Amino acid sequence: MDRSRAVLALVALAAFALLPFAAGPFWMGLATQMLIFGLLALSTDLLLGHAGLFSLCHASFFAVSAYTVAILQVRYGAPTALAAPAGLLVGTLLAAVFGLAVRTRGVYFILVTLALGYVVWGVAHRWSSFTGGDNGVTNVPFPAVGPFRIETHTGYYYLVLAVIAACALAYRALVRSPFGLALRGIKASESRMRSLGYRTGLHLYAAFVLSGAIASLAGVLYVYYNRFVNPVSASFPVSVEAVLMAIVGGTGTVLGPFLGSAIILGLRNWVSSFFELYAAVLGIVFIATVLWAPDGIMGLARRLRERAGVAPA
Amino acid sequence: MTSAILQAINGISLAALLFLLASGFTLSFGLMRVVNMAHGAYYLLGGYIGLSVARATGSFAAALVAGGLAVVVLGLAVDRFLLRRTGENHLAQVLLTVGVAFVIGDVALRIWGGDFLKVPVPVSLRGAMELPGGLVYPTYRVALILLGTVVGALLWILYRKTQIGAVVRAGVDDREQVAATGINVDRLFVMVSALASFLAGMAGVAGGAFLTLYPGAEWEILVYALVVVIVGGLGSLGGAMIGALVVGLLDAYGRWLLPEFSYFVLFAPMALLLLVRPRGIAGKDA
Please report the DSSP string for A111-155 in residue order. Answer: HHHHHHHHHHHHHHHH-HHHH-GGG-B--PPPPEETTEE--SHHH
Contact B274 A112 (CB under 8 A): yes
Min CA distance, A228 vs chain B (Å)? 22
Q: Give residue-wise pLDDT tens across range B132-146.
A: 777 788 888 888 999
Would you say B28 and B159 are in contact if contact means Cβ atoms under 8 Å apart?
Answer: no
**Among A201-215, A277-291, B33-47, B160-174, which stretch is predicted with the lowest mean pLDDT?**
B160-174
Indicate the angle between helix axes A278-292 and A255-272, nearest 10 degrees: 140
Contact B230 A118 (CB under 8 A): no
Amino acid at the residue B116:
F
∠ at Cα B243 (B240, B244), nearest 5°?
A: 85
**Among A137-146, A282-291, B45-54, B203-212, which stretch is predicted with the lowest mean pLDDT?**
A137-146
Residue B256 lies in a domain: no
- From chain B, pick out residues whose CB is under 8 angstroms from the CB of A232: none
Report how far residue A312's alpha carbon sits from residue A250's, in angstroms, rounded to the nearest whole number: 25
Element (H, E) at B130: strand B128-131
Residue in A120, A99, A60, A55 with CA at minimum distance from that of residue B264: A120
Count the Cβ atoms, other than its own, within 10 Å of residue B18.
28
Min CA distance, B251 vs chain A (Å)? 12
Strand partners, B128: B138
Contact B278 A282 (CB under 8 A): no
* pLDDT surpasses 60 at A33: yes
- From chain B, pick out residues whose CB is under 8 angstroms from the CB of A279: 102-103, 105-106, 109
Mutate which: B103, B220, B265, vs A, most A CBs within 10 A: B103
Contact B98 A290 (CB under 8 A): no
Count the Cβ atoms, other than its own, within 10 Å of residue A311.
7
Would you say A113 and B274 are in contact if contact means Cβ atoms under 8 Å apart?
Answer: no
Backbone Cα Rg of chain B: 19
Min CA distance, B249 vs chain A (Å)? 17
B274 touches chain A (CB under 8 A): yes
Give the DSSP letter of residue A49: I
Report how far residue A249's alpha carbon sits from residue A85's, in angstroms, rounded to the nearest whole number: 30
* pLDDT for position B75: 94
Please name the residues between 147 and 166 in chain B that touch chain A, using a CB distance below 8 Å: none
Residue B247 lies in a domain: no
pTM to 2 decimals?
0.90
Report how far residue B92's alpha carbon sits from residue B84's, in angstroms, rounded to the nearest whole number: 11
* pLDDT surpasses 80 at A158: yes
Min CA distance, B135 vs chain A (Å)? 30
Residues 6+ apart with CB under 8 A from B40: B21, B101, B217, B218, B219, B220, B221, B222, B223, B225
Say which of B95, B230, B275 has its CB closest to residue A290.
B95
Indicate the angle between helix axes A255-272 and A2-22, nearest 10 degrees: 40
Percent of chain A with pLDDT over 90: 55
Give the DSSP letter of residue A196: T
Phi-psi region of A77 (alpha: psi -120 to 50; beta: other; left: phi over 0): left
Contact B110 A276 (CB under 8 A): yes
Q: Which residues constitute the domain of residue B116?
A: 2-216
* pLDDT surpasses 70 at A310: no
- From chain A, pick out residues whose CB is under 8 angstroms from the CB of B100: 283, 287
Contact B102 A110 (CB under 8 A): no
Min CA distance, B118 vs chain A (Å)? 22
Report how far residue A210's alpha carbon sits from residue A53's, in angstroms, rounded to the nearest whole number: 13
b/e code A281-306 from CB counts within 10 Å (16+ = b) = bbbebbbebbeeeebbbbbebeeeee
- Domain count for chain A, please give it: 1
* pLDDT for position B283: 67
Report how far residue A228's alpha carbon sits from residue A222's, in angstroms, rounded to the nearest whole number: 9
User: A313 falls in which pLDDT band (50, 70, 90)?
Assistant: very low
Contact B261 A285 (CB under 8 A): no
- From chain A, pick out residues whose CB is under 8 angstroms from the CB of B271: 100
Q: What is the mean pLDDT of residues B73-101?
A: 90
* pLDDT surpasses 80 at B35: yes
Q: Which residues constitute the domain of residue A270?
A: 2-310
- From chain A, pick out residues whose CB is under 8 angstroms from the CB of B85: 291
Q: Give residue-wise pLDDT tens across range B184-221.
A: 888 888 888 999 999 999 999 999 988 899 998 999 89
Strand partners, B138: B128
Min CA distance, A196 vs chain B (Å)? 22
Backbone Cα Rg of chain A: 19
The mean predicted confidence, pLDDT, of chain A is: 89
- From chain A, pick out residues whose CB is under 8 angstroms from the CB of B29: 107
Report how far residue B36's alpha carbon sits from residue A110's, in angstroms, rounded to the nearest whole number: 12
* pLDDT surpasses 60 at A311: no
* pLDDT surpasses 60 at A1: no
Residue in B167, B198, B161, B197 with CA at minimum distance from that of residue B185: B167
* pLDDT for position B137: 84
- From chain A, pick out residues whose CB is under 8 angstroms from the CB of B114: none
Residue B262 lies in a domain: no
- From chain A, pick out residues whose CB is under 8 angstroms from the CB of B275: 100, 103
The runs of H, that is alpha helices, within chain B are 2-32, 39-57, 60-81, 90-112, 139-161, 163-173, 175-180, 185-208, 217-232, 237-257, 262-276
Give residue A63's Cα distance to chain centre.
12
- Domain count for chain B, please give it: 1
Please name the residues between 58 and 117 in chain B that touch chain A, using a CB distance below 8 Å: 82, 85-86, 90-92, 94-96, 98-107, 109-110
CATH code of A115's domain: 1.10.3470
Q: What is the mean pLDDT of residues A27-51?
A: 94
∠ at Cα B77 (B76, B80), nearest 5°?
A: 80
Contact A283 B82 (CB under 8 A): no
Say which of A104, A127, A278 has its CB closest to residue B278.
A104
- From chain B, pick out residues whose CB is under 8 angstroms from the CB of A116: 267, 270
- From chain A, pick out residues whose CB is under 8 angstroms from the CB of B246: none
Contact A115 B230 (CB under 8 A): yes
* Closest residue in chain B to residue A243, using alpha carbons only: B95
Report how far residue A297's alpha carbon sits from residue A266's, in angstroms, rounded to the nearest whole number: 15
* Closest residue in chain A to residue B272, using alpha carbons only: A100
Min CA distance, B11 vs chain A (Å)? 19
Contact A244 B95 (CB under 8 A): yes
Residue B97 lies in a domain: yes
Min CA distance, A120 vs chain B (Å)? 8
The CA-atom distances, in angstroms, between A208 and each of A62, A212, B110 are: 14, 6, 38
Contact A282 B102 (CB under 8 A): yes
* pLDDT for position A312: 44
* Closest residue in chain B to residue A114, using alpha carbons only: B223
Give residue B20's Cα distance to chain centre.
4
Report how far residue B256's alpha carbon sits from residue B7's, in angstroms, rounded to the nearest whole number: 7
